[in-house]
Amino acid sequence: MATVELTLLSASEQSRLIRDRKLSPVELMQSCLARIERWDPLLRAYITVCGDAALDAARVAEREIAAGQWRGPLHGLPFGVKDQLNTKGVLTTLGSKVMATNVPDHDATVIQRLKAAGAILIGKENLHEFGKGGTVDFPYGQPRNPWNPAHNPAGSSSGSGIAVAAGFSSGSLGEDTGGSVRSPAAANGIVGLRPTFGRVSRTGGIMYGWTADTIGPLTRTVEDNALFLQAIAGHDPQDPLSSTRSVPDYAATLKSGARGMIVGVVRELSWPDGANAEVVAAMKEAIRVFESLGATIREVSLARAKYAVPLQLLTSDSDIATMMLRKWLRTHWQELDVGTRTRLAAGCLIPAAIYHRAMRGRALVRREVLDVLDGVDALICPTNLHPPGLIEAGKETVDSEEAMEKKVLLRRISTYPFSMANIPALALPMGFTKSGLPLSLQVAAKPFAEATVFSIAHAYEQSAAWHTRHPNLENLASGAKTS
């Protein structure tokens, strides 16, 4: 099997080959590491690559499987994590110069759980500084989109999206406050889930957005995503905000399909003024696919959705800023990226009265989302209203109300309402622009209804088949467009 074919197989396919002893975990790991060595100097998905340790672990997995000790579908598969999650004995930078020597003495709970399932850590992935977005100059290299390196891979879990799309790993873990898993999934043409708040332990993650941060998987298919969530979900006594609800068997309900489901198309998040025409066309085609699958389509309204963006910025930015004030902002101002320090300094200046009013506003937005979900099985809309933009365009300043609307509100309006409602939301491929850039569909459902999200998204994915298309990295060296 050719290396490119091997590394771009779904995790589920790789797993079946390993289980049946047709593929060695060592061969898969060597193929992924070779691909990283060749292409990551351009794409900059990784801050740290655990090459030797990963190969040693792959040899152990190979021996275990040969001895009949197969642990399950993730055994022997390489995974990466956003460098915001603590890893025992491995550098954890949070994408910041001020953390350049930080080596934790423990693994985050989600990493412990993946290792227990037999998955192998291949590396720590690049991100916006402290995982909060807005980084101007990346100290560990500018992340680039594998479909076209002049374009943005989105953030803040930038490397986690790049790595999966480029075939550097079988799956990744990212962190999502307002869209930091879903946006990179969208920009890189893969699948990314923000789970229900509390579904996945946050212990060992550097979680400054206390009321909003979640950890979620990024994968090449919906089935892969379900496998990774299965491994990391569940109560953790060390995380007081993790749920005690039992974790269902996501794979068992994956193929339930969309027939008989009522799917709500969110008007304000699907075709507001300013939405890209190719995104709108792809969304209309996605609706047609759902109808062909036997779903009932109903247009619904989230009139308060537009307030989710300022409310999230007022509250989460304030949470993050106050936690970082003494430790970083006051003592390491010059070492922080200008985008980070400007955003967090502004967060420090939000008056308590405004913060508390914004928190009440968040409750109203959440209530509206939950009320609408009472009448449908799931909600759909584009993950982003525009295709991935040029990297340089993303570094422009916001200096007018018009720029605020185009660069801040429209870029976030499709993801923030579901973050504010703390419900599961999944991004998956919805097509491509004429120039070959990915477009993305988002599926959301009631709290802890990840199984519903997976079954609806899987039905669409298998019918539309956009997940079978991958970036052609061989063309990147010459600067040619990918296909």
Is residue 92 within 8 Å of 86, Cβ to Cβ? yes
Q: Is residue 483 part of a domain?
A: no
Tell me whether residue 12 is one of the annotated catalytic residues: no
Q: Is residue 255 part of a domain?
A: yes
Q: DSSP states of 8-29 as a string?
A: HS-HHHHHHHHHTTSS-HHHHH
Q: What pLDDT score does 214 carry?
A: 97
Query: Per the residue annotation, which of 15, 82, 158, 318 is the catalytic one?
Result: 82
pLDDT in tens, the chain (483 residues): 566 689 999 999 999 999 999 999 999 999 999 999 999 999 999 999 999 999 999 999 999 999 999 999 999 999 999 999 999 999 999 999 999 999 999 999 999 999 999 999 999 999 999 998 889 999 999 999 999 999 999 999 999 999 999 999 999 999 999 999 999 999 999 999 999 999 999 999 998 787 899 999 999 999 999 999 999 999 999 999 999 999 999 999 999 999 999 999 999 999 999 999 999 999 999 999 999 999 999 999 999 999 999 999 999 989 888 888 777 888 899 999 999 999 889 999 999 999 999 999 999 999 999 999 999 999 999 999 999 999 988 765 677 777 777 667 888 999 999 999 999 999 999 999 999 999 999 999 999 999 999 999 999 999 999 999 999 998 876 553 443
CATH number at residue 99: 3.90.1300.10
C-alpha distances out from residue 67 to 15, 120, 183, Å: 17, 18, 41
Is residue 232 within 8 Å of 72, Cβ to Cβ? no
Q: Which helix (H) or strand (E) holds 39?
A: helix 25-43
- Residue 373 has phi, psi (to 5 degrees) of -70, -15
Query: Per the residue annotation, which of 12, 96, 180, 440 is the catalytic one?
Result: 180
* Cα end-to-end distance, the chain, whole Å: 21
CA gap 453, 426 in Å, rounded: 7
List the structure tokens of 71.
Answer: 């642990």
Range of the domain at 319: 80-478
Q: Is residue 313 part of a domain?
A: yes
Q: DSSP states of 91-146 as a string?
A: ---TT-GGGTT---SS--HHHHHHHHTT-EEEEEE--SGGG-S--SS-TT-----T
Q: Is residue 401 part of a domain?
A: yes
Note the pTM of the prediction, 2 decimals: 0.96
Q: Is residue 468 part of a domain?
A: yes
Q: Which of 156, 110, 104, 109 minimizes the C-alpha distance to 129? A: 156
Q: Is residue 34 part of a domain?
A: no
Give residue 249's Cα distance to chain centre.
22
Amino acid at 6: L
CA gap 78, 23 in Å, rounded: 13
CA gap 278, 180 in Å, rounded: 23
Q: Which DSSP symbol is given to 288? A: H
CA gap 204, 223 in Å, rounded: 26
Q: What pLDDT score does 480 carry?
A: 39
The Cβ of residue 392 has, within 10 Å, a number of other Cβ atoms equal to 9
Q: Is residue 132 part of a domain?
A: yes
Q: DSSP states of 64-89 as a string?
A: HHHTT----TTTT-EEEEETTB-BTT
- Residue 173 has phi, psi (to 5 degrees) of -115, 135
The Cβ of residue 99 has, within 10 Å, a number of other Cβ atoms equal to 21
Q: What pLDDT score does 125 carry?
A: 98
Tell me whether residue 318 is one of the annotated catalytic residues: no
Tell me whether residue 82 is one of the annotated catalytic residues: yes
Q: Which helix (H) or strand (E) holds 199?
A: none
Query: Per the residue annotation, which of 31, 96, 156, 455 is the catalytic one?
Result: 156
The Cβ of residue 82 has, within 10 Å, a number of other Cβ atoms equal to 34
Number of structural domains, the chain?
Answer: 1
Q: Is residue 13 part of a domain?
A: no
List the structure tokens of 331.
Answer: 């003592």
Q: Which residues contact 274 (CB under 8 A, 6 or more apart)?
A: 385, 405, 406, 410
Q: What pLDDT score does 481 carry?
A: 43
